[in-house]
Copies of this chain bind each other. A is one copy, B any other.
Amino acid sequence: MNESTFPGTQHLPSSMEPIPSTPDPAPATPAEPTPQHTPAPPSPARTVVTPPSNYAEMPRPTAKLTAEDMAPVNDPHGPRNKIGPTGRPLPDLPEVKPPTRRGPAQVIAMCNQKGGVGKTTTTINLGAAIAETGRKVLLIDFDPQGSASIGLGVQPHDLELSVYNLLMQRDITPAEVIQATRVDNLDLLPANIDLSAAEVQLVQEVAREYTLQRVLEPIIPLYDVILIDCAPSLGLLTVNALTASNGIVVPLECEFFALRGLAMLTDTIGKVQDRLNPKLEIVGILGTMFDGRTTHAREVLDRVVQAFDERVFHTVIRRTVKFPETTVVGEPITTYAPSSQAATQYRDLAKEVLARCPVG
Beyond A51-B157, A144-B233, A157-B260, is A165–B3 a contact (Cβ under 8 Å)? yes
Query: Does A207 have its Cβ within 8 Å of any Cβ on chain B?
Result: no
Q: How far is the CA of A200 from the CA of B237 in the complex (A)?
A: 11
Q: Mark A206-237, 1 if CB is under 8 A from B, else 0.
A: 00000000000000000000000001111111
Residues in B with CB closer than 8 Å to A115 are: 145
A159 to chain B, nearest CB (A): 9
Q: How far is the CA of A154 from the CA of B352 in the complex (A)?
A: 39
Closest to A235 in B: B235
CB <8 Å contact, A264 and B233: no
Residues in B with CB closer than 8 Å to A192 are: 260
Residues in B with CB closer than 8 Å to A234 are: 196-197, 199-200
Query: Does A313 have its Cβ within 8 Å of any Cβ on chain B?
Result: no
Query: Does A12 have its Cβ within 8 Å of any Cβ on chain B?
Result: no
CB <8 Å contact, A197 and B264: yes
**Contacting residues of chain A (109-126) with chain B, CB-CB under 8 angstroms:** 113-116
CB <8 Å contact, B193 and A264: yes
Q: How many residues of A contact B (CB 8 A)?
A: 46
Closest to A268 in B: B200
Closest to A194 in B: B264
Residues in B with CB closer than 8 Å to A155 are: 56
Q: How far is the CA of A161 from the CA of B5 in the complex (A)?
A: 9
Pick the residue among B56, B169, B200, B267 that contacts A239 (CB under 8 A): B200
Q: How far is the CA of A145 from the CA of B261 in the complex (A)?
A: 10
Q: How far is the CA of A161 from the CA of B3 in the complex (A)?
A: 9
CB <8 Å contact, B165 and A4: yes
Beyond A3-B168, A3-B169, is A196–B157 a contact (Cβ under 8 Å)? no
Query: Does A160 have its Cβ within 8 Å of any Cβ on chain B?
Result: yes
Query: Does A323 have its Cβ within 8 Å of any Cβ on chain B?
Result: no
**Contacting residues of chain A (75-120) with chain B, CB-CB under 8 angstroms:** 113-116
CB <8 Å contact, B235 and A268: no
Query: Does A257 have its Cβ within 8 Å of any Cβ on chain B?
Result: yes
CB <8 Å contact, A200 and B271: yes
Q: Mark A298-339, 1 if CB is under 8 A from B, else 0.
A: 000000000000000000000000000000000000000000
Q: Mark A17-60, 1 if CB is under 8 A from B, else 0.
A: 00000000000000000000000000000000001000110000
CB <8 Å contact, A233 and B199: yes
A239 to chain B, nearest CB (A): 7
Binding site for B on A (CB under 8 A): 2-4, 51, 55-56, 113-116, 144-145, 155-158, 160-161, 164-165, 168-169, 172, 192-194, 196-197, 199-200, 231-237, 239, 256-257, 260-261, 264, 267-268, 271
Q: A3-B194, A156-B257, A193-B264 are in contact. List 13 more A-B contacts (CB 8 A).
A: A3-B165, A3-B168, A3-B169, A4-B169, A55-B157, A56-B155, A113-B196, A144-B232, A196-B261, A199-B233, A200-B239, A200-B271, A235-B237
| 29 A-B pairs with C-beta separation under 8 A | A2-B169, A3-B164, A3-B165, A3-B168, A4-B160, A4-B161, A4-B165, A4-B169, A4-B172, A56-B155, A113-B144, A113-B196, A114-B144, A114-B193, A114-B196, A116-B145, A144-B233, A193-B257, A196-B233, A196-B261, A197-B267, A199-B233, A199-B234, A199-B235, A200-B234, A200-B235, A235-B235, A235-B236, A236-B236
